[in-house]
């Protein structure tokens, strides 16, 4: 499949020149975005030359900046009249200032609250994991209540456990204690063999 040379907008076909393709590429746009912009009534020049930060809102072209909790929209005509330093806007916002405080009321802009930010999603994920852990613990308590109600746990020691205990403590045992322990280990091994 070759490089696209035409844009289809309704019944119109717009032939793309190499210069136009280069502009679209350098702005980080794709052909579908340009076609959509043309369908929404953008001029051809604006459709190919404005970056993907520009969107259609209320029938006009707006510059869009998404912040963690809100989205700022400034009309294109305002962006051309005043020079907003986008770096300063982002820097002041990160320092904790409100967008209204940063911009003043000298010009038209729209602020929309983001419904669910990535912070909200992260918090929901943490809460979901906590709830799942709590449900798992409750399920475990239902299945094995003896582990939680203070019932002493009796485990019959295996021959290997007795041998480890003997090895660890033999230097502190008398000869009589050592002999009794070896007999106990021998009996445990015999019981294990009979169970198999």
First to last CA, the chain: 70
At 129 the pLDDT is 92
Note the pLDDT tens digit of each residue in 78-135.
877 777 777 677 777 777 777 777 776 677 777 777 776 667 778 888 999 999 999 9
Q: Is pLDDT larger for residue 74 or for residue 100?
A: 74
Break the chain into its structural domains and give their ranges: 1-52, 53-115, 118-147, 159-195
How high is the mean pLDDT of the chain? 82
Q: Residue 15: in which H helix or E strand, if any?
A: strand 12-15
- pTM recorded for the entire structure: 0.53
Percentage of the chain exceeding pLDDT 90: 9
Residue 72 CB burial class (10 angstroms; 0-12, 13-18, ≥19)? buried
At 15 the pLDDT is 86
Residue 160 Cα distances to 138, 170, 171, 178, 192, angstroms: 34, 15, 18, 16, 11
181: Cα separation from own chain's centroid: 58
Tell me the HSE value of 127 on the side-chain side, using a 13 A CA sphere.
6
Cα–Cα distance, 99 to 49 (Å, whole number):
27
In the predicted structure, residue 1 carries a pLDDT above the cut 50 = no
Percentage of the chain exceeding pLDDT 70: 93
């Amino acid at each position: 499949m070759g490089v696209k040379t035409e844009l289809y907008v309704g019944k119109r076909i717009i032939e793309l020149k190499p210069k136009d393709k280069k502009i679209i590429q350098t702005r980080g746009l794709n052909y579908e975005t340009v076609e959509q912009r043309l369908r929404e009534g953008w001029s051809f020049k604006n459709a190919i030359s404005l970056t993907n930060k520009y969107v259609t809102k209320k029938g006009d072209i707006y510059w869009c900046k998404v912040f963690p909790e809100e989205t700022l929209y400034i009309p294109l005509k305002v962006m051309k009249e005043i020079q907003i330093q986008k770096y300063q806007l982002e820097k002041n916002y990160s320092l904790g200032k409100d967008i209204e405080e940063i911009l003043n009321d000298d010009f038209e802009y729209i602020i929309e609250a983001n419904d669910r930010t990535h912070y909200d999603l992260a918090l929901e994920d943490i809460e979901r994991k906590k709830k799942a852990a709590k449900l798992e613990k409750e399920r475990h308590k239902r299945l094995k209540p003896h582990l939680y109600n203070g019932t002493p746990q009796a485990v019959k020691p295996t021959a290997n456990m007795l041998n480890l205990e003997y090895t660890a403590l033999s230097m502190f045992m008398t000869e009589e204690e050592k002999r009794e322990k070896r007999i106990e280990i021998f009996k445990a091994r015999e019981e294990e063999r009979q169970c198999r």
